[in-house]
Amino acid sequence: MRALITGGAGFIGANFVHRARATRPDWQITVVDALTYAGNVDNLAPVADDITFVHGNLADADLVDSLVADADVVVHFAAESHNDNSLDDPWPFVESNLIGTFRVLEAVRRHGVRLHHISTDEVYGDLALDDPERFTESTPVNPSSPYSSTKAGADLLVRAWVRSFGIEATLSNCSNNYGPYQHVEKLIPRQITGIIDGVKPKLYGTGENVRDWIHVDDHNDAVITIVERGRPGETYLIGADGERSNREIIALLLDLMDKPADWFEHVNDRPGHDLRYAIDSSKLRTETGWEPRYHDIRAGLAATIAWYREHEDWWRAAKGDTEARYARLGR
């Protein structure tokens, strides 16, 4: 199968390419990636000889058309992905997440190519801390930030192209991922690399906000499962029952990195900060048999800490600019 992976030089996309090479050696993989600040072609170095890499932007309709014409399936990861950046400058989010997805949709429509669209649980807004309900496929979209609203808009475009133009597409909305190759702007790598540098973890607001954590390999195995066995037109929520408050995550990191439990600081809260995300992934589990393999977040975080300790050359270059941006935002 010829698979075109958009955003394959980013965190989840690169892990997806590694996972697909390991588990689906018959797939012929082409990656298209604009190599924004979040993309790094070195993320694909271990598989560079086995894939085709195209440096290009989804805004380039002719390029997207020619790449899609040569594919059997498109797995669409490319997006601007960081909430804090979207609050600072929303335009790149509109351009990549909405217009980029539009370009992909028009190309798959023209060429009759199967699409799997990657999205996030953030499109559903947030839940109260004590709400017994979790997000399901029928939860109404209610996004909070420019990031999540452009992702929700992209999801709606995909659904409209399914219904009105009959494209063969599936969608998945996943919870917060962790693992190797995640940019140092995100919660877990920011704190791990900060602690390595002797800087206290920075907790937004009270730190009671809850995220539903999943290992990136579990997410990507679910995506491969949906590409192969998902029903056309359907949306699947992906989650691994990993709800933890940000305070709990920081406590785990401090413990694993031999720092005192109170060695962190509170910083300004994120405007519009979603309180809690929680995923009910029973549809995916029941229909396809997919199950997460990483059940122990402490062990998963320990492995992630080890990866960042061993790959300082990978993250060091981005650390200074990232912290300068946070300093400007007061976070």
| Cα angle for residues 151, 8, 307 (degrees, 5° grid) | 105
151 is a contact residue toward ligand NAD (CB under 6 A): yes
Q: Is 265 a catalytic residue?
A: no
Q: State which residue, 1 or 99, has the beta carbon closest to ligand NAD.
A: 99
Catalytic position from the list 122, 217, 243, 323: 122
Distance, CA of 7 to CA of 24 (rounded, Å): 19
Q: Is 228 a catalytic residue?
A: no
- Residue pair 224/23 in contact (Cβ under 8 Å)? The answer is yes
- Residue pair 12/118 in contact (Cβ under 8 Å)? The answer is yes
Q: State which residue, 19 or 186, has the beta carbon closest to ligand TDX.
A: 186
Residue window 16-35: x/- pattern of binding to ligand NAD, with contact defined by CB under 6 A: -----------------xxx
DSSP character string of 170-202: EEEEE--EESTT--TTSHHHHHHHHHHTT---E
Distance, CA of 17 to CA of 118 (rounded, Å): 14
315 is a contact residue toward ligand NAD (CB under 6 A): no
| Among residues 4, 13, 18, 149, the one that binds ligand NAD under rule CB under 6 A | 13
Q: Which stretch binds ligand TDX (CB under 6 A): 50-58, 75-83, 96-104, 227-235?
A: 75-83
Q: How many CA atoms lie within 13 A of 140 on its CB side?
A: 1
Q: Which residues pair with 6 in a beta bridge?
A: 32, 76
184 is a contact residue toward ligand NAD (CB under 6 A): no
37 is a contact residue toward ligand TDX (CB under 6 A): no
Cβ partners under 8 Å of residue 239, min gap 6: 121, 134, 174, 175, 212, 214, 278, 279, 280, 281
Q: Is 122 a catalytic residue?
A: yes
Q: Is 3 helix (H, G, I), strand (E, B) or coil?
A: strand
| Among residues 85, 96, 139, 246, the one that binds ligand NAD under rule CB under 6 A | 96
Q: State which residue, 113 or 126, has the beta carbon closest to ligand TDX.
A: 126
31 is a contact residue toward ligand TDX (CB under 6 A): no
Q: Which stretch binds ligand NAD (CB under 6 A): 51-59, 65-73, 129-137, 320-328?
A: 51-59
Alpha helices in 59-165 (DSSP H): 61-69, 83-88, 91-93, 100-111, 146-165
To ligand TDX, the closest distance from the beta carbon of 28 in angstroms equals 28
Which of 297, 272, 276 lies closest to 86 in space, CA to CA? 272
Residues at the interface with ligand NAD (CB under 6 A): 6-7, 9-13, 33-36, 38-39, 57-59, 77-81, 96, 100, 118, 120, 151, 174, 176-177, 183
Positions in the binding site for ligand TDX (CB under 6 A):
81-83, 120, 122, 176, 186-187, 190, 202-204, 209, 211, 246, 270
Residue numbers annotated as active site: 121-122, 147
